[in-house]
Structure 1
């Protein structure tokens, strides 16, 4: 790691991004315990279920060997596999509505507005489809690990160095590029990008920024965390996805630093709480839920930031980011178990098992269906009755 850290910051942009990516991967490797000293996952609780949940249907994509995110839009889930095949799957019964083979494996999840879908390949090529028809391809100047965001017939891409590029969804014309003063290090982990009304929201370092989507002009930025530490690694506080939303309030996690909620209408931070986690958060009108680095879950009041409950029954189980639903909080783990917690107290009320490859991404909800994806590429649609 020290050799890479000696790299000069005035190298060309592509080289800089590759160095940043290398540092990020090295950071992750340095933080791992050896197999003999790794903390053991908490044993599964003896459980008497008080919530009815079931697998409604199953489907499959190729294995998942990249930072997966799944688009849930209209009546379908849009998801990609490691083989570069993008599939639109009916949320109702799991039938495949269309498939598009973009020819290369993926480096990030798929973004879609229901008409257009966008993904980035291992060759760092942005590919946009309309259904199963490939419309265009374009090489990206910097590596991408965050799923593109598609809205308003535009495709927005957040690169590894946290620059934002906008393209016309139909013909691939570059519309604008926003490049803010960069951080010395960034994470090779999915960042934050979304929208509120006519404002594009992007994570840039430890800040959430509001951007004019037509011109690429910064409208406001709000601090999620104030990085502290004696070196660049300790001060690393990138915003990591997924981001949570309740109307005009958006909540996000700064890596190993804090969770905060921002009012996107006014562009100001509503509250921030120190919490050293590495996965994104989920929220509804009452609670924001996230896990710290040891997989202790905390629920904060969405409007106040007050702690509602904590749950430590899943420590060291390598949890996914959670999903807050109307009936429960849902989270997956590295052994393939899906846990359901009560929203008022954080107690486990149900548990289902998928396959042993482990849950690969945050659960995603569309209507009454929650989709779980595993590392082996199996998709499980869950319904709470």
Structure 2
């Protein structure tokens, strides 16, 4: 779930939502309920390999603390300040560091380090081997996204429109890129990615930008969505999902905007289709997959953007970003279910409930394992089995 934020007037937006809800008829209220799940015929199972509870995740404040994996270690964090490294295959705890902060952004992993950030903007780097603190840096704004680590830098994206490049060894600031934000934006922020010495980031103004990782100099900028309408709510076009890079292509999608495929080299647009999401897309089997804001799941042809299929049987179930895993597609929902879809046609082929709390944090795919983390802190490692 995404939440609206605004430098001034946030209370007015909340009040407006309350008034609209109060004025709704009983029939309209029924239309806002999540659709009920129906029985399906399964041909695959998501088999639990191991699970453990890692502690509370403050999802109401948009702490999307996605797990990360590196060198056989799965690193997770909770909102109470605990960063935990687990053995990927077994879930055995390797180390745990209690930072005694309210973690809001993370988990970033790379270059032998782990980076997380708290709500007050304090970034902390830890040694991946033993969890020892390496350095800290005070950010000028709040961070609720995953730091990108690579090419000798750590890149942070703040909710007030800044991208910062820090020296990965010392934590010293190397460069800053500022963006003018729209009047009204969604609560979340896209996580930047680093590929081949280039930082690619989605912005709250509906643009995708590429910067040189060494000095922050822009390489290209491309608009994904154009604000429409006269009301500020109608003009919200945030990109809140991390861009996805596959080879020479970059895929991204915005809220109340479009899903696009761009050239990684120069940002040239290859195709674009109308869409609305605050999640990342997934790519696999020749398709780009998207969970839209209403709860429909779409597949687009990776080459031309034509719609291959759409599944609207999960409406209003607050879906997670899709994950392409072991030749199937998986999405989580507000009741802790993972739904498995056939990527060729969008039909349901499996389902598993991992918790009673929502699964809205982006899932992590690593080889033959899928890692899913619920808002309640239930972390599950899963392997696909076919009947």
Are the aligned partners of 2:241 and 2:278 in contact in 1 as well (CA < 8 Å)? no
Contact 1:192-1:239 at 8 Å conserved across structures: no
CA contact (8 A) 1:287 1:300 kept: yes
- State the alpha-carbon separation in 2 of the partners of residues 220 and 233 from structure 1: 28
- Taking a change above 3 Å as real, the CA distance of residues 29 and 317 of structure 1, as seen in their structure-2 partners, is farther
Question: Counterparts in 2 of 1:2-41, with a 5 A limit?
Answer: 19-20=6-7, 23=10, 26=13, 30=17, 33=21, 37=29, 39-41=32-34
Q: Tell me, what secondary structure is at the counterpart of 1:272?
A: strand
Alpha-carbon contact 2:122-2:137 (below 8 Å) kept: yes
Residue number among 24, 47, 55 corresponding to 1:54 in the alignment: 47
Residue 161 and residue 377 in structure 1: after superposition, are their counterparts in 2 closer, same or farther (change >3 A)? same
1:128 is matched with 125
Give TM-score scaled by structure 1 length: 0.89
Q: 2:12 & 2:221 partners in 1: Cα distance?
A: 28
- Label 1:377 to 1:367 Cα distance change in 2 as closer, same or farther (>3 A): same
The 5 Å alignment of 1:284-303 reads: 284=284, 286-303=286-303
Deviation for aligned residue 1:173: 0.8
**Structure 1 position 180 matched with structure 2 position 179:** yes
Structure 1 residues 123 and 169, CA, compared in 2 at 3 Å: closer, same or farther? same
Q: Secondary structure at the match of 1:234?
A: helix
CA contact (8 A) 2:151 2:194 kept: no
**Distance of aligned partners of 1:161 and 1:115 in 2 relative to their CA distance in 1, 3 Å threshold:** same
Taking the aligned partners of 1:215 and 1:21, their CA distance within structure 2 comes to 33
Query: Aligned match of 1:113 in 110, 114, 117?
Result: 110
Cα distance in 1 for partners of 2:248, 2:95 equals 33
Structure 1 counterpart SS, 2:344:
coil
2:207 matches 1:207: yes
Distance 1:117 1:25, change over 3 A: farther
Structure 2 CA distance for partners of 1:276 and 1:24, relative to 1, 3 Å? farther
Root-mean-square deviation (CA), in Å?
Answer: 2.4
Aligned pairs for 1:272-311 within 5 A: 272-284=272-284, 286-311=286-311
Deviation (angstroms), 1:240: 1.1
- CA distance in 2 between counterparts of 1:308 and 1:133 reads 48
Taking structure 2 as the reference length, what is the TM-score of the superposition?
0.89
Q: Which runs of 5+ in 2 are unaligned?
A: none
